[in-house]
Amino acid sequence: MSRVHTISSSILTIQQIGKILYGNYTLALAPEAEERITNCFNYLQQKIKSTSESIYGINTGFGALADKRVSAKDLEQLQRNLMMSHACGTGAEVPAEIVKIMLLLKVQMLAYGHSGVQLPTVKRLIDFFNREVYPVVYQQGSLGASGDLAPLAHLCLPLLGLGEANFQGYKLDSKHILEMFSWDPIQLKAKEGLALLNGTQFMSAYATYCLLQAERLSAWADVIGALSLDAYNGRIEPFQAILHQIRPHQGQVESARLVRQLLQGSELIGQPKEHVQDPYSFRCIPQVHGASKEAIGYATSVINTEINAVTDNPSIFPEEDQIISGGNFHGQPLALALDFTAIALAELASVSERRTFQLLTGNNHLPEFLVVESGLNSGLMISQYTAASLVSQNKQLCTPASIDTIPSSNGQEDHVSMGANAATKLYQVVQNVEAVLAIELLNAAQALEFRRPLRTSATLEKVVAAFREQVPFMATDTLLHPHLQRSISFLRTFKVEDLLEAGTAGDTE
Protein backbone atom coordinates (compact mmCIF):
# COMPACT_ATOMS: atom_id res chain seq x y z
CA MET A 1 0.00 0.00 0.00
CA SER A 2 1.32 3.43 -0.93
CA ARG A 3 2.30 5.87 1.79
CA VAL A 4 1.78 9.59 1.36
CA HIS A 5 4.27 12.40 1.84
CA THR A 6 2.43 15.67 2.33
CA ILE A 7 4.24 18.74 1.04
CA SER A 8 3.82 21.63 3.44
CA SER A 9 6.08 24.21 5.05
CA SER A 10 8.00 21.47 6.90
CA ILE A 11 11.71 21.15 6.21
CA LEU A 12 12.63 18.43 3.72
CA THR A 13 15.94 16.59 4.15
CA ILE A 14 18.04 14.42 1.89
CA GLN A 15 17.31 11.44 4.13
CA GLN A 16 13.56 12.05 3.87
CA ILE A 17 13.87 12.18 0.10
CA GLY A 18 15.60 8.80 0.25
CA LYS A 19 12.66 7.36 2.17
CA ILE A 20 10.17 8.89 -0.28
CA LEU A 21 12.16 7.63 -3.25
CA TYR A 22 12.61 4.05 -2.10
CA GLY A 23 9.61 3.67 0.22
CA ASN A 24 6.78 3.66 -2.34
CA TYR A 25 5.50 7.08 -1.29
CA THR A 26 3.08 9.24 -3.24
CA LEU A 27 2.87 13.03 -2.93
CA ALA A 28 0.05 15.32 -1.84
CA LEU A 29 -0.19 19.03 -1.11
CA ALA A 30 -1.11 20.23 2.37
CA PRO A 31 -4.05 22.68 2.45
CA GLU A 32 -1.67 25.43 3.57
CA ALA A 33 0.51 24.81 0.51
CA GLU A 34 -2.49 24.95 -1.81
CA GLU A 35 -3.52 28.22 -0.19
CA ARG A 36 -0.07 29.75 -0.65
CA ILE A 37 0.07 28.73 -4.30
CA THR A 38 -3.43 30.08 -5.00
CA ASN A 39 -2.87 33.36 -3.15
CA CYS A 40 0.37 34.02 -5.01
CA PHE A 41 -1.22 33.23 -8.37
CA ASN A 42 -4.19 35.52 -7.71
CA TYR A 43 -1.91 38.31 -6.52
CA LEU A 44 0.18 38.09 -9.70
CA GLN A 45 -2.82 38.12 -12.00
CA GLN A 46 -4.19 41.20 -10.27
CA LYS A 47 -0.78 42.88 -10.34
CA ILE A 48 -0.46 42.35 -14.09
CA LYS A 49 -3.84 44.01 -14.64
CA SER A 50 -3.15 46.96 -12.34
CA THR A 51 0.40 47.96 -13.27
CA SER A 52 1.97 49.56 -16.30
CA GLU A 53 5.48 48.66 -15.16
CA SER A 54 7.73 46.16 -16.91
CA ILE A 55 8.11 43.03 -14.79
CA TYR A 56 10.93 40.75 -15.88
CA GLY A 57 9.83 37.52 -17.50
CA ILE A 58 6.17 38.29 -16.95
CA ASN A 59 5.54 41.01 -19.49
CA THR A 60 9.06 41.18 -20.92
CA GLY A 61 11.41 38.89 -22.83
CA PHE A 62 14.09 36.83 -21.11
CA GLY A 63 17.82 37.25 -20.52
CA ALA A 64 19.23 39.81 -22.92
CA LEU A 65 15.67 40.40 -24.18
CA ALA A 66 14.55 41.74 -20.79
CA ASP A 67 14.05 45.21 -22.27
CA LYS A 68 11.53 43.91 -24.85
CA ARG A 69 7.98 44.56 -23.61
CA VAL A 70 5.36 41.92 -24.45
CA SER A 71 1.70 42.87 -24.92
CA ALA A 72 -0.95 41.55 -22.52
CA LYS A 73 -2.58 39.40 -25.19
CA ASP A 74 0.69 37.53 -25.77
CA LEU A 75 1.67 36.77 -22.17
CA GLU A 76 0.53 33.14 -22.31
CA GLN A 77 2.19 32.55 -25.68
CA LEU A 78 5.36 34.07 -24.23
CA GLN A 79 5.49 31.30 -21.60
CA ARG A 80 4.78 28.53 -24.11
CA ASN A 81 7.48 29.88 -26.42
CA LEU A 82 9.90 29.92 -23.51
CA MET A 83 9.23 26.26 -22.77
CA MET A 84 9.73 25.14 -26.35
CA SER A 85 12.79 27.27 -27.15
CA HIS A 86 14.65 26.26 -23.99
CA ALA A 87 14.13 22.52 -24.45
CA CYS A 88 17.40 21.95 -26.27
CA GLY A 89 19.21 19.47 -24.05
CA THR A 90 21.46 16.75 -25.40
CA GLY A 91 23.56 13.82 -24.26
CA ALA A 92 22.48 10.80 -22.26
CA GLU A 93 19.07 10.64 -20.62
CA VAL A 94 18.88 11.47 -16.92
CA PRO A 95 18.19 8.28 -14.90
CA ALA A 96 14.58 7.82 -13.79
CA GLU A 97 15.50 7.97 -10.09
CA ILE A 98 16.94 11.44 -10.56
CA VAL A 99 14.01 12.62 -12.71
CA LYS A 100 11.74 11.49 -9.89
CA ILE A 101 13.71 13.63 -7.43
CA MET A 102 13.54 16.57 -9.86
CA LEU A 103 9.73 16.34 -9.88
CA LEU A 104 9.61 16.24 -6.10
CA LEU A 105 11.95 19.21 -5.71
CA LYS A 106 10.14 21.29 -8.30
CA VAL A 107 6.83 20.72 -6.48
CA GLN A 108 8.52 21.50 -3.16
CA MET A 109 9.77 24.86 -4.46
CA LEU A 110 6.50 25.87 -6.11
CA ALA A 111 4.59 25.02 -2.92
CA TYR A 112 6.20 27.88 -1.02
CA GLY A 113 3.97 30.30 -2.90
CA HIS A 114 6.56 32.68 -4.32
CA SER A 115 6.36 31.59 -7.97
CA GLY A 116 2.94 32.67 -9.24
CA VAL A 117 1.89 29.36 -10.80
CA GLN A 118 -1.57 27.82 -11.06
CA LEU A 119 -2.52 25.14 -8.57
CA PRO A 120 -3.43 22.69 -11.41
CA THR A 121 0.13 23.00 -12.76
CA VAL A 122 1.62 21.87 -9.46
CA LYS A 123 -0.94 19.09 -9.10
CA ARG A 124 -0.10 17.76 -12.56
CA LEU A 125 3.57 17.51 -11.59
CA ILE A 126 2.40 15.52 -8.57
CA ASP A 127 0.35 13.32 -10.92
CA PHE A 128 3.52 12.60 -12.91
CA PHE A 129 5.35 11.59 -9.72
CA ASN A 130 2.50 9.46 -8.38
CA ARG A 131 1.76 7.71 -11.68
CA GLU A 132 5.48 7.14 -12.39
CA VAL A 133 5.43 9.27 -15.53
CA TYR A 134 9.06 10.37 -15.88
CA PRO A 135 9.73 13.04 -18.52
CA VAL A 136 12.72 12.44 -20.78
CA VAL A 137 15.43 14.85 -19.59
CA TYR A 138 18.93 15.13 -21.04
CA GLN A 139 22.13 15.51 -19.06
CA GLN A 140 23.74 18.31 -21.06
CA GLY A 141 22.47 21.82 -21.55
CA SER A 142 22.46 23.61 -18.19
CA LEU A 143 25.01 26.23 -17.18
CA GLY A 144 23.87 26.09 -13.57
CA ALA A 145 22.56 29.69 -13.85
CA SER A 146 20.03 31.08 -14.56
CA GLY A 147 18.87 27.86 -13.15
CA ASP A 148 18.83 24.54 -14.95
CA LEU A 149 16.92 25.93 -17.92
CA ALA A 150 17.26 23.22 -20.57
CA PRO A 151 16.80 20.18 -18.28
CA LEU A 152 13.83 21.77 -16.53
CA ALA A 153 12.27 22.65 -19.88
CA HIS A 154 12.38 18.97 -20.81
CA LEU A 155 11.05 18.02 -17.36
CA CYS A 156 8.00 20.27 -17.79
CA LEU A 157 7.27 19.91 -21.51
CA PRO A 158 4.86 17.00 -20.89
CA LEU A 159 2.61 19.40 -18.96
CA LEU A 160 1.82 20.85 -22.38
CA GLY A 161 1.61 17.51 -24.15
CA LEU A 162 5.03 18.13 -25.71
CA GLY A 163 8.24 16.14 -25.51
CA GLU A 164 8.53 12.56 -24.33
CA ALA A 165 8.19 10.64 -21.10
CA ASN A 166 9.06 7.19 -19.83
CA PHE A 167 6.13 5.17 -18.52
CA GLN A 168 6.17 1.51 -17.49
CA GLY A 169 9.31 0.79 -19.48
CA TYR A 170 8.23 2.59 -22.66
CA LYS A 171 9.26 5.96 -24.06
CA LEU A 172 6.13 7.67 -25.33
CA ASP A 173 5.11 11.01 -26.79
CA SER A 174 3.73 13.00 -23.90
CA LYS A 175 0.49 13.73 -25.73
CA HIS A 176 -0.28 10.01 -25.72
CA ILE A 177 0.33 9.81 -21.96
CA LEU A 178 -2.04 12.73 -21.40
CA GLU A 179 -4.65 10.94 -23.50
CA MET A 180 -4.10 7.72 -21.57
CA PHE A 181 -4.97 9.42 -18.27
CA SER A 182 -7.58 11.78 -19.78
CA TRP A 183 -5.46 14.77 -18.74
CA ASP A 184 -5.87 18.05 -20.60
CA PRO A 185 -2.66 19.90 -21.49
CA ILE A 186 -1.88 22.74 -19.08
CA GLN A 187 -2.53 26.19 -20.52
CA LEU A 188 0.32 28.26 -19.11
CA LYS A 189 -0.46 31.60 -17.54
CA ALA A 190 1.88 34.57 -17.13
CA LYS A 191 5.16 33.72 -15.36
CA GLU A 192 4.45 29.97 -15.25
CA GLY A 193 6.94 28.87 -17.88
CA LEU A 194 9.65 30.91 -16.21
CA ALA A 195 8.79 29.47 -12.79
CA LEU A 196 8.98 25.94 -14.18
CA LEU A 197 12.29 26.46 -16.01
CA ASN A 198 14.10 28.64 -13.50
CA GLY A 199 15.51 26.84 -10.49
CA THR A 200 18.26 24.46 -9.43
CA GLN A 201 16.27 21.21 -9.35
CA PHE A 202 18.53 19.41 -11.87
CA MET A 203 21.67 20.11 -9.83
CA SER A 204 19.85 19.53 -6.55
CA ALA A 205 18.36 16.21 -7.67
CA TYR A 206 21.76 14.88 -8.76
CA ALA A 207 23.28 16.16 -5.53
CA THR A 208 20.57 14.51 -3.44
CA TYR A 209 20.96 11.16 -5.17
CA CYS A 210 24.76 11.26 -5.03
CA LEU A 211 24.87 12.27 -1.37
CA LEU A 212 22.56 9.40 -0.48
CA GLN A 213 25.04 7.11 -2.23
CA ALA A 214 28.01 8.93 -0.69
CA GLU A 215 26.79 8.21 2.83
CA ARG A 216 26.36 4.53 1.96
CA LEU A 217 29.78 4.30 0.28
CA SER A 218 31.47 6.09 3.18
CA ALA A 219 30.04 3.48 5.56
CA TRP A 220 31.16 0.68 3.25
CA ALA A 221 34.67 2.16 3.05
CA ASP A 222 35.06 1.80 6.82
CA VAL A 223 33.67 -1.75 6.83
CA ILE A 224 35.74 -2.93 3.87
CA GLY A 225 38.82 -1.10 5.13
CA ALA A 226 38.50 -2.87 8.48
CA LEU A 227 38.13 -6.23 6.74
CA SER A 228 41.17 -5.56 4.55
CA LEU A 229 43.20 -4.51 7.58
CA ASP A 230 42.40 -7.77 9.33
CA ALA A 231 42.97 -9.90 6.24
CA TYR A 232 46.33 -8.14 5.76
CA ASN A 233 47.16 -8.97 9.40
CA GLY A 234 47.40 -5.28 10.18
CA ARG A 235 47.83 -3.50 13.48
CA ILE A 236 45.07 -1.95 15.63
CA GLU A 237 47.27 0.62 17.41
CA PRO A 238 46.72 3.42 14.82
CA PHE A 239 43.00 3.28 15.64
CA GLN A 240 43.25 3.75 19.41
CA ALA A 241 41.06 6.54 20.75
CA ILE A 242 43.88 8.25 22.66
CA LEU A 243 45.72 8.92 19.39
CA HIS A 244 42.76 10.67 17.82
CA GLN A 245 42.01 12.74 20.91
CA ILE A 246 45.12 14.79 20.16
CA ARG A 247 43.95 15.48 16.59
CA PRO A 248 40.19 15.49 17.09
CA HIS A 249 38.75 16.02 13.62
CA GLN A 250 35.23 14.67 13.95
CA GLY A 251 35.37 12.43 10.87
CA GLN A 252 38.75 11.02 11.84
CA VAL A 253 37.57 10.20 15.36
CA GLU A 254 34.43 8.56 13.98
CA SER A 255 36.25 6.37 11.43
CA ALA A 256 38.77 5.23 14.03
CA ARG A 257 35.94 4.37 16.43
CA LEU A 258 34.06 2.40 13.77
CA VAL A 259 37.13 0.37 12.79
CA ARG A 260 37.86 -0.45 16.45
CA GLN A 261 34.28 -1.58 16.95
CA LEU A 262 34.12 -3.52 13.70
CA LEU A 263 37.22 -5.48 14.73
CA GLN A 264 36.14 -6.11 18.33
CA GLY A 265 36.60 -9.80 19.11
CA SER A 266 38.70 -10.58 16.04
CA GLU A 267 41.19 -13.39 16.54
CA LEU A 268 43.35 -11.96 13.78
CA ILE A 269 43.68 -8.40 15.05
CA GLY A 270 44.72 -9.65 18.49
CA GLN A 271 47.56 -11.93 17.42
CA PRO A 272 51.22 -10.83 17.65
CA LYS A 273 52.58 -8.99 14.59
CA GLU A 274 55.94 -9.39 12.91
CA HIS A 275 55.92 -5.92 11.36
CA VAL A 276 56.13 -2.59 13.20
CA GLN A 277 53.99 -0.45 10.88
CA ASP A 278 51.37 -0.90 8.17
CA PRO A 279 51.34 1.04 4.89
CA TYR A 280 49.51 4.38 4.95
CA SER A 281 46.48 2.95 3.15
CA PHE A 282 45.77 0.89 6.28
CA ARG A 283 47.34 3.00 9.01
CA CYS A 284 45.73 6.27 7.85
CA ILE A 285 42.19 4.98 7.30
CA PRO A 286 40.81 7.32 10.01
CA GLN A 287 42.53 10.37 8.57
CA VAL A 288 41.58 9.70 4.94
CA HIS A 289 38.08 8.28 5.41
CA GLY A 290 37.37 10.82 8.12
CA ALA A 291 38.25 13.79 5.91
CA SER A 292 35.84 12.50 3.27
CA LYS A 293 33.13 12.08 5.91
CA GLU A 294 33.44 15.74 6.87
CA ALA A 295 33.37 16.89 3.25
CA ILE A 296 30.21 14.84 2.65
CA GLY A 297 28.71 16.38 5.78
CA TYR A 298 29.43 19.90 4.52
CA ALA A 299 27.87 19.14 1.13
CA THR A 300 24.82 17.63 2.81
CA SER A 301 24.23 20.82 4.81
CA VAL A 302 24.43 22.90 1.61
CA ILE A 303 22.00 20.69 -0.28
CA ASN A 304 19.58 20.47 2.65
CA THR A 305 19.38 24.26 2.51
CA GLU A 306 18.96 24.29 -1.26
CA ILE A 307 16.11 21.76 -1.46
CA ASN A 308 14.09 23.96 0.91
CA ALA A 309 14.77 27.15 -1.03
CA VAL A 310 12.95 29.16 -3.70
CA THR A 311 15.30 29.36 -6.67
CA ASP A 312 13.23 30.68 -9.56
CA ASN A 313 13.13 34.31 -10.68
CA PRO A 314 11.55 36.75 -10.19
CA SER A 315 10.30 35.98 -6.69
CA ILE A 316 6.84 37.13 -5.68
CA PHE A 317 5.97 38.40 -2.19
CA PRO A 318 2.20 38.96 -2.08
CA GLU A 319 2.08 40.20 1.52
CA GLU A 320 4.82 42.75 0.87
CA ASP A 321 3.37 43.66 -2.55
CA GLN A 322 6.75 43.11 -4.17
CA ILE A 323 8.06 41.23 -7.20
CA ILE A 324 11.85 41.08 -7.03
CA SER A 325 14.17 40.00 -9.82
CA GLY A 326 17.33 38.62 -8.27
CA GLY A 327 19.76 35.73 -8.59
CA ASN A 328 18.54 32.88 -6.38
CA PHE A 329 18.82 30.58 -9.40
CA HIS A 330 22.63 30.84 -9.40
CA GLY A 331 24.14 27.44 -8.70
CA GLN A 332 27.47 28.48 -7.19
CA PRO A 333 26.76 27.06 -3.69
CA LEU A 334 25.87 23.73 -5.29
CA ALA A 335 28.71 23.75 -7.80
CA LEU A 336 31.35 24.10 -5.09
CA ALA A 337 29.70 21.47 -2.89
CA LEU A 338 29.34 19.03 -5.81
CA ASP A 339 32.99 19.43 -6.80
CA PHE A 340 34.03 18.97 -3.17
CA THR A 341 31.95 15.81 -2.86
CA ALA A 342 33.47 14.33 -6.01
CA ILE A 343 36.97 14.93 -4.64
CA ALA A 344 36.05 13.46 -1.26
CA LEU A 345 34.55 10.32 -2.80
CA ALA A 346 37.43 9.93 -5.24
CA GLU A 347 39.79 9.77 -2.28
CA LEU A 348 37.84 6.87 -0.81
CA ALA A 349 38.46 5.01 -4.06
CA SER A 350 42.09 6.08 -4.25
CA VAL A 351 43.00 4.69 -0.83
CA SER A 352 40.84 1.61 -1.45
CA GLU A 353 42.77 0.74 -4.60
CA ARG A 354 46.01 0.98 -2.62
CA ARG A 355 44.72 -1.49 -0.03
CA THR A 356 43.74 -3.85 -2.85
CA PHE A 357 47.26 -3.51 -4.22
CA GLN A 358 48.79 -4.34 -0.82
CA LEU A 359 46.61 -7.43 -0.43
CA LEU A 360 47.87 -8.75 -3.78
CA THR A 361 51.62 -8.20 -3.28
CA GLY A 362 52.32 -11.38 -1.32
CA ASN A 363 53.25 -9.53 1.89
CA ASN A 364 52.45 -10.73 5.42
CA HIS A 365 52.34 -14.39 4.35
CA LEU A 366 49.51 -13.95 1.84
CA PRO A 367 50.00 -15.73 -1.50
CA GLU A 368 50.88 -13.48 -4.43
CA PHE A 369 47.69 -12.32 -6.21
CA LEU A 370 45.70 -14.31 -3.62
CA VAL A 371 45.93 -17.63 -5.43
CA VAL A 372 47.91 -20.72 -4.47
CA GLU A 373 49.33 -21.78 -7.84
CA SER A 374 50.43 -18.40 -9.14
CA GLY A 375 51.97 -18.58 -12.60
CA LEU A 376 49.50 -21.12 -13.82
CA ASN A 377 46.86 -18.85 -12.27
CA SER A 378 46.82 -15.04 -12.31
CA GLY A 379 44.41 -14.92 -9.40
CA LEU A 380 42.97 -11.47 -8.72
CA MET A 381 45.86 -9.62 -10.36
CA ILE A 382 43.77 -7.82 -12.96
CA SER A 383 41.10 -6.69 -10.50
CA GLN A 384 43.65 -4.13 -9.29
CA TYR A 385 44.15 -2.95 -12.88
CA THR A 386 40.43 -2.26 -13.13
CA ALA A 387 40.47 -0.38 -9.84
CA ALA A 388 43.47 1.67 -10.98
CA SER A 389 41.69 2.56 -14.23
CA LEU A 390 38.64 3.80 -12.34
CA VAL A 391 40.76 5.77 -9.87
CA SER A 392 42.60 7.41 -12.76
CA GLN A 393 39.33 8.41 -14.43
CA ASN A 394 38.12 9.87 -11.14
CA LYS A 395 41.16 12.14 -11.09
CA GLN A 396 40.14 13.50 -14.48
CA LEU A 397 36.50 13.88 -13.42
CA CYS A 398 37.54 15.77 -10.28
CA THR A 399 38.82 18.75 -12.21
CA PRO A 400 36.44 21.37 -10.75
CA ALA A 401 33.58 22.49 -12.95
CA SER A 402 32.88 25.38 -10.59
CA ILE A 403 36.01 27.29 -11.59
CA ASP A 404 34.72 27.70 -15.15
CA THR A 405 32.26 30.20 -16.58
CA ILE A 406 31.24 31.10 -20.14
CA PRO A 407 29.08 34.21 -20.65
CA SER A 408 25.69 33.67 -22.27
CA SER A 409 22.64 35.64 -23.44
CA ASN A 410 24.65 38.42 -25.06
CA GLY A 411 26.60 38.97 -21.85
CA GLN A 412 23.56 39.55 -19.64
CA GLU A 413 24.29 36.26 -17.94
CA ASP A 414 28.01 36.89 -17.73
CA HIS A 415 28.94 34.55 -14.87
CA VAL A 416 27.54 31.04 -14.52
CA SER A 417 28.30 28.23 -12.08
CA MET A 418 28.63 25.19 -14.36
CA GLY A 419 27.13 23.32 -11.42
CA ALA A 420 25.20 21.01 -13.75
CA ASN A 421 28.47 19.67 -15.13
CA ALA A 422 29.72 19.25 -11.57
CA ALA A 423 26.55 17.24 -10.88
CA THR A 424 26.86 14.83 -13.79
CA LYS A 425 30.60 14.34 -13.15
CA LEU A 426 29.86 13.49 -9.54
CA TYR A 427 27.32 10.89 -10.65
CA GLN A 428 30.03 9.09 -12.63
CA VAL A 429 32.48 9.33 -9.73
CA VAL A 430 29.88 7.66 -7.50
CA GLN A 431 29.62 4.72 -9.92
CA ASN A 432 33.42 4.42 -10.08
CA VAL A 433 33.91 4.54 -6.31
CA GLU A 434 31.30 1.85 -5.80
CA ALA A 435 33.12 -0.45 -8.23
CA VAL A 436 36.53 0.19 -6.62
CA LEU A 437 35.18 -0.62 -3.16
CA ALA A 438 33.54 -3.76 -4.56
CA ILE A 439 36.93 -4.83 -5.93
CA GLU A 440 38.55 -4.29 -2.53
CA LEU A 441 35.82 -6.36 -0.86
CA LEU A 442 36.39 -9.13 -3.41
CA ASN A 443 40.10 -9.16 -2.54
CA ALA A 444 39.67 -8.77 1.22
CA ALA A 445 37.23 -11.70 1.41
CA GLN A 446 39.60 -13.80 -0.72
CA ALA A 447 42.58 -12.90 1.50
CA LEU A 448 40.66 -13.76 4.66
CA GLU A 449 40.34 -17.39 3.53
CA PHE A 450 44.15 -17.71 3.69
CA ARG A 451 44.04 -16.79 7.40
CA ARG A 452 41.79 -19.69 8.35
CA PRO A 453 41.12 -21.23 10.83
CA LEU A 454 41.52 -17.82 12.54
CA ARG A 455 38.46 -15.65 12.31
CA THR A 456 37.81 -11.95 12.12
CA SER A 457 35.13 -10.32 14.29
CA ALA A 458 31.60 -11.66 14.44
CA THR A 459 30.37 -8.50 12.72
CA LEU A 460 32.74 -8.83 9.78
CA GLU A 461 32.22 -12.60 9.56
CA LYS A 462 28.52 -11.79 9.08
CA VAL A 463 29.43 -9.57 6.12
CA VAL A 464 31.71 -12.21 4.62
CA ALA A 465 29.12 -14.96 5.04
CA ALA A 466 26.51 -12.87 3.24
CA PHE A 467 29.03 -12.00 0.54
CA ARG A 468 29.92 -15.67 0.05
CA GLU A 469 26.29 -16.40 -0.79
CA GLN A 470 26.84 -14.39 -3.96
CA VAL A 471 30.58 -14.57 -4.63
CA PRO A 472 32.61 -17.75 -4.04
CA PHE A 473 36.22 -18.22 -2.96
CA MET A 474 38.31 -18.66 -6.11
CA ALA A 475 40.89 -21.43 -5.76
CA THR A 476 41.85 -21.22 -9.44
CA ASP A 477 41.31 -18.76 -12.26
CA THR A 478 37.75 -18.19 -13.32
CA LEU A 479 35.77 -15.62 -15.27
CA LEU A 480 36.02 -12.59 -12.98
CA HIS A 481 33.54 -10.16 -14.54
CA PRO A 482 30.37 -11.84 -13.17
CA HIS A 483 31.92 -11.96 -9.69
CA LEU A 484 32.74 -8.26 -9.87
CA GLN A 485 29.19 -7.43 -10.93
CA ARG A 486 27.79 -9.48 -8.07
CA SER A 487 30.18 -7.71 -5.69
CA ILE A 488 28.81 -4.35 -6.82
CA SER A 489 25.27 -5.65 -6.43
CA PHE A 490 26.12 -6.82 -2.91
CA LEU A 491 27.18 -3.30 -1.92
CA ARG A 492 23.80 -2.02 -3.11
CA THR A 493 21.62 -4.63 -1.42
CA PHE A 494 23.34 -5.43 1.88
CA LYS A 495 22.17 -2.96 4.55
CA VAL A 496 25.54 -1.74 5.77
CA GLU A 497 23.91 0.99 7.87
CA ASP A 498 21.98 -1.62 9.84
CA LEU A 499 25.19 -3.58 10.36
CA LEU A 500 26.95 -0.58 11.84
CA GLU A 501 24.02 0.22 14.13
CA ALA A 502 23.49 -3.36 15.31
CA GLY A 503 26.99 -4.74 15.39
CA THR A 504 29.11 -1.97 16.88
CA ALA A 505 27.59 -1.28 20.28
CA GLY A 506 30.84 -1.62 22.23
CA ASP A 507 34.30 -0.08 21.93
CA THR A 508 37.79 -1.29 22.56
CA GLU A 509 41.09 0.40 22.93
Instruction: With CA atoms as reference, report the closest residue to 476 among 431, 446, 502, 440.
Output: 446
* SS3 per-residue string spanning 147-174: CCHHHHHHHHHHHHCCCEEEECCEEEEH
Backbone dihedral region for residue 371 (phi beyond 0: left; psi -120 to 50: alpha; all else: beta): beta
Q: What is the CA radius of gyration of the chain?
A: 26
Using alpha carbons only, give the angle 138, 139, 145 rounded to the nearest 5 degrees: 105
Tell me the backbone φ, ψ of residue 167, rounded to 5 degrees. Answer: -145, 120
- Determine whether 25 is an active site residue: no
3-state DSSP assignment of residue 499: helix
Phi/psi of residue 312, each to 5°? -95, -175
Q: What secondary structure letter does DSSP report for 10? A: S
Which of the following is catalytic: 25, 56, 232, 427? 56
User: Contact at 8 Å (CB) between 426 and 400?
Assistant: no
Cα–Cα distance between 235 and 240 in angstroms, integer? 10
Instruction: Give the C-alpha separation, 27 to 290, whole Å.
Output: 36
Dist. CA 228–CA 236, nearest whole Å: 12
The Cα–Cα gap between 358 and 352 comes to: 10
Please tell me the distance from the alpha carbon of residue 444 to that of residue 229, in angstroms, as a whole number. Answer: 8
Which of the residues are catalytic? 56
